[in-house]
Structures are given as structure tokens and as C-alpha cells.
Amino acid sequence: MSSFISLQNIIYPSSELSLTMIFLEEWSIIYVEGCDSKKYLQNQLTIDVNLLPNTDHTLCAHCNFNGKVWSVIRLFHYCQGYAYIQRKSISQIQIKELKKYSIFSKIKITELNNIYLIGLAGLNARAFLLKFFIKIPNQKCPVIHEKNTTILWFKKPEERFLLVLSVTDFLFLKKAINENIFFNNSKQWLLLDIEAGFPIIEKESSEKFTPQAINLDKLKGISFKKGCYYGQEIIARIFFKNLNKSCLCSLIGKGNISPKVGSLLEVQIENVWCKIGILLSIVNIKNEETCIQVVLYKPVDVNNLFRIHGFKNIFLINH
């Protein structure tokens, strides 16, 4: 009999996480199929799709003509084509933009609403999966396809897995569980992504940043050797002329607050609060602390004090 234990929406840092199943209701999965799918995505995304193995997944961006990021996506081979996972808040807008020129290509782009995205993280996550699957992905093979299930492996911030399941497979997995396991909502996975340094682009922050401003170059989410794609000239110019001065950063502070994505971030310089960046994402941890992901417009000292405009809570760089 399944033994689910509710965490009552309490979010834990990776270092304190027990075995947890995470329902990724704030993410969506999009399927791109057809004989032109590789070529089409190659002309749209910041990475070289031709070099993506069937056994790997990658972070990249879909940008507009001005080199600003529509969405950050996690791309991998899926069924007869490709799938990517992104924040649900931006999906409708991003899919519309991706489809703009598809009339001339033999592809089909569909949001898969009948698929479960399930995260598994915490203590003994690998041992748990081995009870249900013959093969489990690892560093050498980060993606495993087994029948109708795809499993993605993540190294950071601690080993974790993302399961792409049909409704039938999800119900079977849930019914077959015979040990205690916590379950939680998307905020738990969001915190793990922030800890891992993966940029979170919501609808409110779409088209505001270049890929370099959110560290996609450092995360190997940009190819500077492939051919043209939307925004490529501007993105390449920023890279080769070293024009980027922004960076992605996570901060931690005491207390529980809920500012809006897109809020201004301020830094204290000689007792004066100055604008320094923009808030991308926020998670309240154990109802005691608040972790935020921000884009900083210029370098700062690790000892600087920060706050979100309109709030008194002090934040420090999260090491």
C-alpha cells in the first residue's frame, strides 16, 4: 500500500530533503515531432541541436530577434522527435512564437497535457527508482527511455531525477509504492533549480534578458559555433566583445515574504539603497527563510546587503 506523507507545502533545502516525490504542476512539457523537427529547432534555439545525443538533455533558450530570452527550456529526445520542459506561465506565449514559421516545415508542436512530470529527490532517491525501473540514468547517461517512461538525471544541487510518465504509468507507480515517501508541490523543485543555478524565466521576465545575463553561457546553454538562429548576431556580439555585465545570482534572507516576480532589487552602498537588479523567482524555505533568484546588473561584493524594493528583509549572497 502506498504510504504518502504530506509535507504540508513546507519547502526544504537539498541538504535536508528526505525522499520526496514532487509534482511539477508549474512546469509544462512540449513535444516537437516531424521530419523537420531537428532542423527547425536548430534555427530557433541557442544550442546546437545536431550535437544533442539521445542519452542526454540540455538547458538552452528560445530568443527573439533582439537576442532576448522568450523562455529557458530543458531539451531532450522524446518518442519520434524532441520534447522540452519549461515554466507553465510562459508556455502559451513561447509555443505561439515557436510556431510562427512552422507553416513551411513538416513539424507538429504540441503541449502534452496528458503527461505527468514528477520530480524525485532526497535521501535514497536512486535506490527507490531501482525498485521500479531496470536502468536509472547517471552522469554518463543522463537520459533513459524505458517503454513509455523517460527519466532525466540531474547532478545539482544533489542527485535528483525527473520522470516523464503517462497517466497509466503514474497510477501504477503510485499504487506500487510500499514505503514511506513525502510528496510536495513544484516549489520544492523550483528551490532545487535555484540552488543548482538554473535560470527561471516566467511570463513576467520573458524578453527582458540576453542568455548571458542569466548565465546560460556558463551553463553551456549557448553554442557560438553553430549557424544562424534568432537573436544569434546580438548574442554573439555580446560574447566576442565581452559586453555582458549582468549575472544570475541567488540570495538568502530571514523571514517569509512574497514579492512579485520582476520586483527591483536594491543594494546598500554607503548607507544608500541603490537599484542593482531584478527578481526572477522566490521560494519560502521552512517558513523561516526566503531564497530568491535575481539578475544583478553589475558586480557586487559577497558581503553586500540586499533588499527587495518595498520590503525591509535583508538578503545576502547564497554561497
Residues in binding site: 27, 189
All cell numbers assigned to 126? 536512486
Which set of grid coordinates corresponds to residue 239? Answer: 560574447
Q: Which residue has the cell 553589475?
A: 298
List the 81-87 sheet strands across, edge first.
57-63, 69-78, 81-87, 27-33, 108-111
299 cis-preceded (ω within 30 degrees of 0): no
**Single-letter amino acid code for the residue at 177:** I
Strand partners of residue 315: 253, 306
State the pairing for strand pair 180-184/272-285: unpaired
Question: Which residues belong to the annotated binding site for folate?
Answer: 27, 189
Question: CA 62, CA 71: separation in Å to the nearest integer?
Answer: 6
Nearest-angstrom CA–CA distance, 47 and 268? 37
